[in-house]
Structure 1
Amino acid sequence: MTQLRLPLERPPGARSDEFLVGEANAKVVHHLEHWGTWPVMAALLVGPRKSGRSMLARMFVRQAHGEMIDDADRGSETAIFHAWNLAQAERRPLLIVADAAPPEWLVRLPDLRSRLAATPVLRIEEPDDALFAAILRDQFDRRELDVREDAVAWIVKRVERSYISLQRIVDTIDQAAIERDTRRISIPLARPALQGAGLLVQSRGEAPSEDP
């Protein structure tokens, strides 16, 4: 699993922002790293919420000296239209971040619709097992929780594999750890916490009776 780091000035001891790269987002990262070859100086970045898309966009803007428009599908179409044109005129890359691309994103301004049709779409997918596990470890580490590898593997097999559910899982287990006055995350701690929150699903590839 690889990482991109955002080189920001941060207080001593603060942890740098990281974007974990896996199969779900590797093509997106590759495209952003080679922005100099873009046929137009714009790209549309779409993907699930909590997928790190805004963080990735901010990293790109800083490294490529470009511009970004976040939550574009809820913003001003006229402003996006002018930003797109300015990016071409100044040859500065523009990253447009949205939940989805047209036609799912219903664009009413004809001139913007035509420009977005000529804009490459970069799509972050839901995480595979490896990326899901890596983000889990990272999120637990950020909260100074000591998670066992068998607990990570157990969780990955038994929960919905999405960015939204991942955040709920970490929040739920963190709260359970606080209530038990421990920072060590194990299967006996995770199981009742996730079950009580309705976050467990039937394990993929195993019979329910095989749970530890």
Structure 2
Amino acid sequence: MSTQPEQLVFELPHRTAMGLEDFLVSDSNAAAVNLIDRWPDWPVGAAVLVGREGSGKTHLASIWASRAGAVAEKALSITRERVPELADGGAILIEDIGETADEAAIFHLLNLVREQRLQVLLTSNVAPGELAVRLPDLLSRLKALPMASIEAPDDQLLRAVLVKLFADRQLSVEPHIIDYVIVRMERSLRAAERFVAEADRQALVLQQRVTRPVAAAALDSLGY
């Protein structure tokens, strides 16, 4: 008598905002989600969201930008000449603050947080205190802002993300395969996306389901 493969079920909350796909929440990103949820009731009108590349930081920042009606700008593109134009929008997402070219422009925008009630969310790969900022006043201002970090995804989040990514491709994968993968792959959401895409490709080539050998081949192809 055949039995159906065990189905994976996770009690993780979903966040959907302004048409964006679900954002899965676990202990590793709960503080960051809480920061975004508290807006606009931040102690000041600005905050810093920290997370390494592939952590989901950009996704979460985009959710805030949608809620706040903010324009999104790379820090590298912000100059003093553009400050009045950017401030007129009322809210701005400044991404990758560590790549700032015009520190005085960023400092000026942060001054406008109180003067013009501007709303600003800054993103960074590292905490403000670790940034190579040359302008002392800007570094001091950044370090004083409310901050939340997205940590490396825990097992619970990685499992849920992998299951969701496979489900998005109409693929059913048994729990033991997910367990096999998460202890071998890079611990990032971007790595999860790359793995699922490669596993799907391998399964199509072999014309079979995503089995452990298929998962192993996908991991090997990605260098894990």
Q: Same fold by TM-score, threshold 0.5 exceeded?
A: yes
Partner SS for 1:147: coil
Structure 1 unmatched ranges of 5 or more: 9-15, 200-212
Question: Using a 3 Å threshold, how does the CA distance of structure 1 residues 36 and 6 change in structure 2: closer, same or farther?
Answer: closer
Structure 2 unmatched ranges of 5 or more: 1-11, 70-90
Question: Using a 3 Å threshold, how does the CA distance of structure 1 residues 144 and 81 change in structure 2: closer, same or farther?
Answer: farther
Correspondence for 1:119? 145
Q: Give yes or no for contact 2:47–2:121 (8 Å, CA) kept in 1.
A: yes
How much does 1:50 deviate?
A: 1.1
Aligned residue pair count: 191
Question: Using a 3 Å threshold, how does the CA distance of structure 1 residues 124 and 168 change in structure 2: closer, same or farther?
Answer: same
The alignment status of 1:69 with 2:99, answered yes or no, reads no
How much does 1:181 deviate?
A: 3.4
How much does 1:196 deviate?
A: 4.8
TM-score (norm 1): 0.79
Correspondence for 1:98? 124
How much does 1:97 deviate?
A: 0.7
Correspondence for 1:195? 220
Q: What is the aligned-residue identity percentage?
A: 37
Q: Give yes or no for contact 1:126–1:161 (8 Å, CA) kept in 2.
A: yes
Q: What letter corresponds to residue 125 of structure 1 in structure 2?
A: E
Question: Using a 3 Å threshold, how does the CA distance of structure 1 residues 83 and 64 change in structure 2: closer, same or farther?
Answer: same
- Which of 148, 151, 165 is equivalent to 2:177? 151
Correspondence for 1:205? none
* Higher mean displacement: 19-28 or 55-64: 55-64
Question: Using a 3 Å threshold, how does the CA distance of structure 1 residues 142 and 75 change in structure 2: closer, same or farther?
Answer: farther
TM-score (norm 2): 0.75
Give the distance between the partners of 2:31 and 2:56, measured in 1 at CA: 15
Q: Give yes or no for contact 1:49–1:163 (8 Å, CA) kept in 2.
A: no
